[in-house]
Chain A
């Protein structure tokens, strides 16, 4: 069964502090993994995907196949990073998404 687990419902950090949003997945094959973000009053949008190995808005995520994890990291949090973050996977062969329950990130000044 395909499953994405985000263990934290809420993560609260101070501005300038490092951020790590945790994501673990279970899937028997090699999925594609994503982080989606939803800012206040905006629609859900793609933040980054593991296959691109890119850094978006200072965020990076490394796929660890041994630990089946895809944690999202940023060295210095900004207030504008406050949002809901969803980790998601696409099973091999298509682009349907399996989402985790999401983590609210609050960056305090």
Chain B
């Protein structure tokens, strides 16, 4: 059984650019959640995708957008990057989106915005 994978592991962008982060969910999982973890803080929920539809969104501006594909892998897109977007971005997958379903986390993508 393959765990959650994310790519790339690190990247550096400049302010105003756009970035796409990718996540492959664990086998059999149809739900993907994205989190932003700033230095010294806990992960913050960005949004969740369930069977290719957005299923809830945290307090993030519209320049944070996402997609989920038929194979349940997912992308996080961030437009017009700001310095404060520098963080670790975590993806987590679960068997479903109901309460009680364990989320399994990937290793994260570390984004630095200069």
Contacts and interface: CB of A to CB of B under 8 A. Distances in A.
B47 to A, nearest CB: 9
* Chain A: number of interface residues, binned into ranges: 20 to 34
B99 A93 contact: yes
A32 interface: yes
A36 to B, nearest CB: 8
A43 B105 contact: yes
B78 to A, nearest CB: 19
A99 interface: yes
B106 A43 contact: yes
Given A94-B55, A95-B31, A96-B56, A101 B101 contact: no
Given A44-B90, A99-B44, A94 B106 contact: no
Interface residues of B, number: 30
A94 B56 contact: yes
Contacts of B4: 43
Given A43-B106, A44-B90, A44-B105, A98 B45 contact: yes
Given A97-B45, A99-B42, A32 B99 contact: yes
Interface of B: 4, 31, 33, 35, 40-45, 48, 55-56, 58, 90, 92, 94, 96-108
29 contacts: A6-B42, A32-B99, A32-B100, A43-B105, A43-B106, A43-B107, A44-B43, A45-B105, A51-B100, A86-B42, A92-B99, A93-B99, A94-B55, A95-B33, A95-B98, A95-B99, A95-B100, A95-B102, A96-B33, A96-B58, A97-B33, A97-B92, A97-B103, A99-B35, A99-B42, A99-B43, A101-B40, A101-B41, A102-B42
List the 10 closest pairs (A to B, CB-CB), nearest first. A99-B42, A44-B105, A95-B101, A101-B42, A99-B43, A43-B105, A43-B107, A96-B45, A102-B42, A100-B42
